[in-house]
Amino acid sequence: MIRTYISHHPLEGRIPLEPGIRAVDHLEVPRRQAIVTVMAADGEETAVAAALSTMSEASLRFVGPGEWLVVSQSETPDGLVRSLSLVLADTAYVLDQSDGRIVLRLSGPNARRILAKGVAIDLHPSAFAIGAASNLLCGHISVNLARTGENEFELIVARSLAESLFDDLRLMGREFDLSIDFSG
Amino acid sequence: MASLIHCPHCGIRPRQEFSIRGDASVTRPAPEASDEAWHDYVHLRSNPRGRHQEHWHHVAGCRRWLVVERDTFTHDVFSVTDGAAVAREGGR
């Protein structure tokens, strides 16, 4: 079977095939994820934001004014693009990013202390609420950081920088015995 | 250099996330303006000690152009505004 570049996960060589013992602080790497960029057309920002908030099966990540990343675990990339195009019609530009971005999910009681080594924003629960997301630098790597749960964060990073970010996160989490595994 | 910038879209961020273009107070002359006006616009910049308006690009964040008013001597930041809002205000 021919395996294309795209079907190969960039972290395959770095994550052991045998899952080790899962620690309280865990870095989970979803194998497949639908990630779509949505950019509102000029003047349609509020209409697009309202339409996106009605979509229950996908998670919304703020990037900048009028720009979001829509992430879904259950839908295929094509399916997500199709349903977004239906909902948004001419008010926004929808572009599939699933092959170009990698999701890393960091969870556990020490997740904030791990992230604080590379991220310069206030991660306190009162300042960074569940559902909040932002583009920022983690070390020298530009990522989209989102809080997806009480102690759960998701980092979306460009495919070409996934290995560097992964190595950084592993180093940042070493004092907490961070465990790592693929999922999905 | 001012080390913390209050981005109107992203909140308080370190300056490492930005790239600086330079003076935001100069305005582009009309295409048929005199050579002197174009020379001033393209080549001449003041280097003030004190309050200064600059274009900053939030490269690692919202990727918007911002107009940052800061003091080049004390490192105080007085205001940060979205570039598009400033341009609209100025009728550009």
Contact at CB, B63 and A142, closer than 8 angstroms: no
Instruction: Please provide the CATH number assigned to the domain covering A34-96.
Output: 3.30.70.1520
As a whole number of Å, the CA-based R_g of chain A is 17
**Residues A122-165: pLDDT tens digits?**
999 999 999 999 999 999 999 999 999 999 999 999 999 999 99
The complex's ipTM works out to: 0.85
Q: Please name each of the domains of chain B with its CATH number.
A: 4-89 (3.30.2270.10)
pLDDT band for position B87 (50/70/90)?
A: confident
Provide the shortest C-alpha distance from residue A65 to chain B (in Å). Answer: 7
B4-7 and A59-64 strand pairing: unpaired
Check B61 against A122: CB less than 8 A apart. no
CA–CA gap between residue A54 and residue B35 (Å, rounded): 55
Residue numbers in A near B18 (CB within 8 A): none
Q: What is the pLDDT of residue B88?
A: 85
Q: Which CATH architecture has domain A26-31+99-183?
A: 2-Layer Sandwich (3.30)
pTM, rounded to two decimals: 0.89
| Cα–Cα distance measured from residue B77 to residue B71, given in angstroms and rounded to the nearest whole number | 6
Q: If you average pLDDT over residues B41-59, what whole number do you get?
A: 94
Would the CB atoms of A122 and B9 count as touching at under 8 Å? no
What residue segments make up the domains of chain A, in order of their start? 26-31+99-183, 34-96
**B3-29 pLDDT tens trace:** 899 999 999 999 999 999 999 989 899
Spatial distance between the Cα atoms of A135 and A144, rounded to a whole number of angstroms: 4
Instruction: Give me the pLDDT at residue A1, please.
Output: 64
With vertex at residue B87, the alpha carbon angle to CA A93 and CA B47, rounded to the nearest 5 degrees, is 125
Calculate the average pLDDT of chain A: 92
- Supply A47's token pair: 């209409």
